[in-house]
Amino acid sequence: MAAIDDIISDFAFLDDWEDRYRYVIELGKALPDLPEEDRTADNKVRGCASQVWLVSEPGEGQDPVMTFRGDSDAHIVRGLVAIVLAIYTGKHASTVARLDALDTFREIGMIEHLSAQRANGLRSMVNRIREEGVKAVG
């Protein structure tokens, strides 16, 4: 999985939005497939037009390091999932709880290029992950 700093700098080099969308799709293609047993109703993100699943794996301790896995049945959304995972995976639960990934999407100029439906789905993903961070904090 690509590191978020690498994704941000790659976006800076891509001037054309067609190229940026292709890059988002490539990020999604590089995302490991989520096993069928993780595609459950509990892991499904509500509020997304396409199907999105997120799996949270907190580490040990009162403020565990969080790992997230996810997938979607739509190419661009799968790329958005890859970016969200890059933002949150490897961070402590307390950081996950307060970090708003939408700030990163604004920084790279992605928010204004998403349809209202995709932007709502992205918000749903971010809210779900932040809730997982809150739950994981001892």
* Stretch 58-65: mean pLDDT: 94
Average pLDDT of the chain, as a whole number: 93
What does the alpha-carbon distance between residue 114 and residue 108 come to, in Å, rounded to a whole number?
12
Q: Would you state the pLDDT for residue 44? A: 95
In the chain, the domains with their CATH numbers are: 4-136 (3.90.1010.10)
Q: Would you state the pLDDT for residue 2? A: 76
| C-alpha distances out from residue 137 to 59, 62, 81, Å | 11, 6, 23
Whether 49 shows a pLDDT value over 90: the answer reads: no
Contact 69, 34 (CB under 8 A): yes
Q: What is the pTM of this model?
A: 0.94
Summarize pLDDT for 9-35 with one digit per residue, the tens: 999 999 888 899 999 999 999 999 999
- Clarify whether 48 is annotated catalytic: yes
Q: Would you state the pLDDT for residue 138? A: 64
Indicate which residue of 4, 24, 48, 87 is catalytic: 48
Half-sphere exposure of 35 (CA within 13 A, CB side): 3
Choice between 116 and 37, residue whose per-residue pLDDT is larger: 37
* Stretch 72-91: mean pLDDT: 95
Residues with Cβ within 8 Å of residue 81, at least 6 apart in sequence? 28, 31, 52, 54, 70, 71, 72, 125
Choice between 49 and 122, residue whose per-residue pLDDT is larger: 122
What does the alpha-carbon distance between residue 104 and residue 80 come to, in Å, rounded to a whole number?
12
Q: Would you state the pLDDT for residue 39? A: 96
Instruction: Say what percent of the chain tops pLDDT 70.
Output: 99
